[in-house]
């Protein structure tokens, strides 16, 4: 699914960027990591949601690894 129309970024690209750089905590930082800038801003809420999803997934993985 296309997340950022202006920069032609889909959810897979955004997730891969976020997974590879866990320090990203804002949509603007995600755009910088993808080599672009937010333009119209319609994607910002969706990218913020993806940041939260990836952060939660990483927390689960970390918790499971610690339990082993």
CA pair distance 7, 55, nearest whole angstrom: 23
pLDDT per position as a tens digit, 20-53? 887 899 999 999 999 999 999 999 999 999 999 9
List the single range of 1-5, 13-17, 54-58 with lowest mean pLDDT: 54-58
CA pair distance 31, 61, nearest whole angstrom: 25
Dihedral of CA atoms 2, 19, 25, 4 in degrees, nearest 10, equals: -10
Class of domain 2-67: mainly alpha
9 — pLDDT class (breaks 50, 70, 90):
very high
Q: Is the pLDDT of residue 61 over 80?
A: yes
Sorted by where each begins, the domain ranges of the chain are 2-67
Give the per-residue pLDDT at 16: 95
């Amino acid at each position: 699914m296309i997340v950022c129309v202006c920069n032609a970024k889909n959810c897979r690209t955004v997730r891969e960027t976020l997974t590879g750089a866990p320090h990203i905590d804002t949509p603007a930082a995600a755009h910088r990591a993808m080599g672009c800038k937010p333009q119209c801003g319609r994607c910002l809420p969706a990218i913020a949601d993806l940041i939260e999803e990836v952060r939660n997934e990483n927390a689960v993985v970390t918790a499971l690894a610690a339990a082993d």
